[in-house]
Structure formats: structure tokens, C-alpha cells
Copies of this chain bind each other. A is one copy, B any other.
């Protein structure tokens, strides 16, 4: 009772785009409780597509296939499936009308090649696509249910949820529940060590998704029914949270900036930043989601005269301690609070790399500080990840230090 993911497209086998569809589908099918044991990408070649379909259908209960549903000659999924089933294609009138209406609305000429998108194998069930042009379809190949979806992620994802997820769940006798915990501040091996024994003791599976610089911990329980699975996952997740303590900053889809934003909104406090080595990245992380109700702005102070004139770091401090120092980030955080008239501020100054390090101040050394009405807290780290990851790790470390200050937790 396993599943396979099939991706069709020469742009994939040429390495022109990342196959993010496949990763997403694997995650979703796994979350439905079914095991994906293989993923296959093939070029736009009729023989390759047919061979792949035949083999995967013989070995799996479910195939989810993306791509090859467009209007061009490269798009041959429907035809390949029909040939493999020994069936003719039929034109689906409802799909044709809906396609024509969409093209008319966009004022685009509708040609014969577009009409091709309404052709399906004779025994196919058409899957409505409310998010784009090409409908999907499903067929049964012997004992395998095969689903065909367009390759555009924003169409593919809701179509999977609407047309496929419940079928996949229904195939696995047991029910699976999953709880995702987000952690920051310890490497995967250390998180792994702390959670040793929980899988066996609670009969759950613990998965990790390293999404630098955070580690997402997934607690999955499979039981006879959904409620028991949920209860088991919840019980094990509690133990995971206990073991990881304040490394866990959120559950589910909340990002660290969202969590910090909620804490600030609850207090009615404003945030501002002073960023040197992070170069605007901390500000960018905060503004990925709407933040204008708690975030005032940032000064990216790449040059020393900006640190001095816009943020009031005394020239003597810069000369005596250098731009990358505890004293400088302390003044930067206080300066940002004053300049932006905000209750709290985070500041960063470091040597992101790849050059510019000395014996005393190596590449990867980052000082950061958080200023609140209670005062200023400083910290520093030496990261060894390369420039862009050093910047990312630094931005997260600063945001996490603010989270800890707002929750009265000790610095990590």
C-alpha cells in the first residue's frame, strides 16, 4: 500500500528548475499516512512516460503525476495514459467550455492546441481546476489509482487537497496525525540526541526537516482512528517540548518573526533595527508578512559614518572597540530605539565574510544586542557557514534574543 510521485518534464531532467512539486507531494502523502517509496522524473518522451506509468502502476496503490497537461506538442500526458490503457481520447465538453470561457475572459485567442487540454482518456474522471486553465484527471490502471495534475504549484496544491488527499487517507486503514514543532538554537544532531527514546516509548515517528537555520521536528502517530492518532501525537509532542524546552519557539506554520510580532503587538510595543553585517536581512524577514502595526523600520548602517551620524554611536567607541564589538552593538540598539522612537530595538554588527577577519575577530563573529525598556542585553557568536548563511543565522539569533527577552527567558 505505497505511493509513487511521477514528474513529467524535460525542464526537470535538464536541471532547469527545482522539483519542489515532488517534495511537497511527498510531504502531503506522508502526512496522509501513506508511504512514498519512490519518486521518478522523466523527460517529455512518450516511451519514457509510458514505461514509467506501467511500472509504477504495477508496484503502487497510488501514483500522483504532475506536468505535461499544457497545450503544446511537448505535453503528452493524456495521450500516454490513453495509449497505456488501450483507450481512445474523448473531448470533455464541460472542460472545453470552461477553457474557452477562461481564454475569452483573458482576451486570448483559443486555438486547436488549447482545445487539446480538454482531451482525456475515455475512462478518466475529470478533476476540476478552479485555480488555472488545465483540468486534471484520474484513472485506474489495474489496482492502481493514478492522478494527473498540472505542474503549476499554485494550481497543483489546492487540487491535491481537494481531489486526492481524502482518497489517500482512506486507503490506509490506520489514521495518522502529525504535529510540527519549530526549534532554533541547537543543531539537528543535538536535537536528535535530546529526543532519544521517545519514538519507541510513545510509538510515534519523529522526523526532522532542516530548514536553515531552524530545525522543524515532526511528531507523527499512526493509530486505528483519527482521535487516537491525534491524542498520541499530542502526548508525544508534549514530551518533545519538555525535552527541547525554550528551543521550541512555535508550533505549525508560525515563523519566528510572526511569534516576535505577536509578543510585541500584545504589549503595544514598536520595534526598530540597526543592521550592519546582516545588511537588511533581519528587516526583510520581519516584513515578509505584514508588520506595519509593530515595526517602524531599520537603519542599515553599512558604513561607520552612518553608525555615528544616524544612530549616535560615539566616534570614540568605534575607534576604541571597532565597529564589530559589544560596545558598538549596545550603542546601535540604544540609538535605534531613540532614532525610531520605538520601545525595543535589535542591532547587529559582525564580519559576515568571506574576508575581513583577524585573529582576534575572525570571519563569522557577530555581535548583536536587544534594547528594551528594561535595558540592553548583548550576545555574540562565531558562525562558520559562509557569508549568506552567517547573515541568516545572525538575523535569527537577534530575533530569538528579542523573543527570549519578551518572555523573560535567559539568552541562549
Contact = CB atoms under 8 A, between A and B. Distances in A.
Interface of A: 11-20, 22-30, 35-43, 45, 48, 52, 207-210, 218, 273, 275, 278-284, 286-292, 295-303, 305-306, 310, 339-341, 352, 354-356, 387-388, 391
A400 B43 CA distance: 35
Contacts of A303: 292, 295-297, 340
B207 A16 contact: yes
24 contacts: A12-B39, A13-B35, A13-B36, A14-B207, A15-B23, A15-B26, A16-B207, A17-B23, A17-B210, A22-B41, A37-B42, A37-B43, A37-B48, A38-B43, A279-B284, A279-B286, A287-B302, A290-B356, A290-B387, A297-B301, A297-B306, A298-B299, A310-B310, A310-B339
Given A41-B39, A281-B280, A297 B302 contact: yes
Given A17-B210, A38-B43, A280-B283, 4 more contacts: A14-B26, A15-B36, A16-B209, A280-B282
A290 B18 CA distance: 27
A15 B27 contact: yes
B17 A19 contact: no
Contacts of A41: 22, 38-40
Contacts of A48: 37-38
Q: Which 7 A-B pairs have the closest CB atoms?
A: A279-B287, A280-B283, A15-B27, A15-B26, A280-B280, A298-B300, A39-B41
A391 B286 CA distance: 13
Contacts of A38: 13, 40-43, 48, 52
A181 to B, nearest CB: 14
A280 B42 CA distance: 40
Contacts of A278: 284, 287
Contacts of A298: 280, 298-300
A18 B13 contact: no
- Majority secondary structure of chain A interface residues (helix, strand, loop or mixed): mixed
A11 B341 CA distance: 47
A287 B295 contact: no
Contacts of A26: 12-15
A23 B52 CA distance: 20
Contacts of A52: 38
A339 to B, nearest CB: 7
A18 B283 CA distance: 26
A288 B30 contact: no
A132 B16 CA distance: 28
Contacts of A210: 17
Q: Which of A12, A16, A17, A278 has the most CB of B within 10 A?
A: A16
A249 to B, nearest CB: 20
Given A22-B19, A37-B42, A291 B302 contact: yes
Contacts of A14: 26-27, 30, 36, 207
A52 B302 CA distance: 52
B283 A279 contact: yes
Nearest to A26: B15
Nearest to A4: B13
A372 to B, nearest CB: 19
A18 B15 contact: no
Nearest to A16: B209
A36 B43 contact: yes
A331 B270 CA distance: 25
A300 B300 contact: yes
A100 B161 CA distance: 50
Contacts of A292: 302-303
